[in-house]
Chains A and B, each alone.
Chain A
Amino acid sequence: MATAAAGVAEAATVAPPRVVSRWNPANAVTASRYLTLPFLWWAVDHGYHQYATLFIIICGLLDKLDGLVAKIFNCRSAFGELFDAITDGICYGFGLILVAAYGWAPVVPVVCVLAMGLANTGLRFVYIKRAGRTVNFKSYAMERIVGFTGYLIGFATGPMEVTFFYWAFVPVMLVIVLHDTKRMLVDPVPGAGAAGVTGVNR
């Protein structure tokens, strides 16, 4: 009995960090966001504004749901956060290109937003190299601007004050990207267990 208790105590002290599989419910929800894109394209192509808005809302809601699922199933990981960020970029990038291509949104601010988004994504990989491990760069401001990006597509599909929202978005995103660029390239990288490092994955 005492030996078993000692064994358990030893196992508890030397237990390796929890390993989270990439094949988990939260990442499945994140991946399911891609399924909304063909429907969004179909709605825009047919000029169905309300359906297009519905599909971009579903895409945005799934973005919120994956975090909730990760909490419920306790499957948060650095890979999951990175996959979520990349999915944000692809889904919203596709949506912005789509509405601009069909003339539902002004092209110049869309190009500015996409260029800044690509630059930020590239810098995230530079940050990973600096950190030497898979780590999602956490930025409170970027989380907010990503939410706004989803709305931008909705403003175009609405349509709702398209010119105002698109041009208001550009300077806000520029300030945030410049702020995050400094943090990713200049500021010291936090150690494991600090902000931005959320788990082990395989």
Chain B
Amino acid sequence: MTLVSDGTFRLLLSVITGGVGGLWAIHDVVFIARLRGADRRDPLVADQRFGYVMGIVIGMIGVVGTLRFNGVL
């Protein structure tokens, strides 16, 4: 029992993972850039910086996985 064709499902998975992962990484790059000049000793700033770095890593994993899924890598 399926909702859509295999090709469409594959495309949706790619968009939801690779698209969102890429946008997520860009979003966190922008936000980490905004933190330049902020007080690194402030615990909140330190947590934000670490979170955005992890967000970029996770986003890139999503993009790489999507490329592998589509046989590009």
Contacts of B13 in A (CB 8 A): 53, 154, 158, 160
Given known pairs A48-B1, A54-B3, the reply for A168 and B69 (CB within 8 Å) is no
B contact residues around A57 at 8 Å (CB): 16
The reply to whether B65 and A50 contact each other, CB–CB distance below 8 Å, is no
Is the beta-carbon distance between B54 and A160 smaller than 8 angstroms? no
Give the shortest distance, in Å, between B39 (CB) and chain A (any CB): 14
B63 to chain A minimum Cβ distance, whole angstroms, is 12
Q: Are B47 and A164 in contact (CB under 8 A)?
A: no
Residue A130 CB within 8 A of the other chain? no
For the complex, give the distance between the alpha carbons of A140 and B31 in Å: 12
Do the beta carbons of B1 and A46 come within 8 Å of each other? yes
Determine the distance from Cα of A48 to Cα of B4 in the docked complex, in whole angstroms. Answer: 12
Mostly helix, strand, loop or mixed at chain B's interface?
Answer: helix
Cβ of A141 < 8 Å from any Cβ of B?
yes
Contacts of A50 in B (CB 8 A): 1-4, 9
Number of A positions contacting B (CB below 8 A): 36
Q: A175 and B54: CB pair below 8 A?
A: yes
A31 CB–B CB distance under 8 Å: no
For the complex, count residues of B whose C-beta is within 8 A of A: 27
Chain A residues in 8 Å Cβ range of B7:
none
If A48-B1, A51-B1, A51-B3 touch, whether A165 touches B48 (CB-CB below 8 Å) is no
The 7 closest A-B pairs by CB, nearest first: A140-B51, A141-B54, A141-B51, A144-B55, A161-B65, A50-B3, A168-B61
- Between A and B, 22 residue pairs with Cβ closer than 8 Å are A50-B1, A53-B13, A138-B47, A139-B51, A140-B47, A140-B50, A140-B52, A144-B24, A144-B51, A144-B58, A154-B13, A161-B69, A164-B65, A168-B61, A172-B54, A172-B57, A172-B61, A175-B54, A183-B43, A187-B43, A194-B44, A195-B44
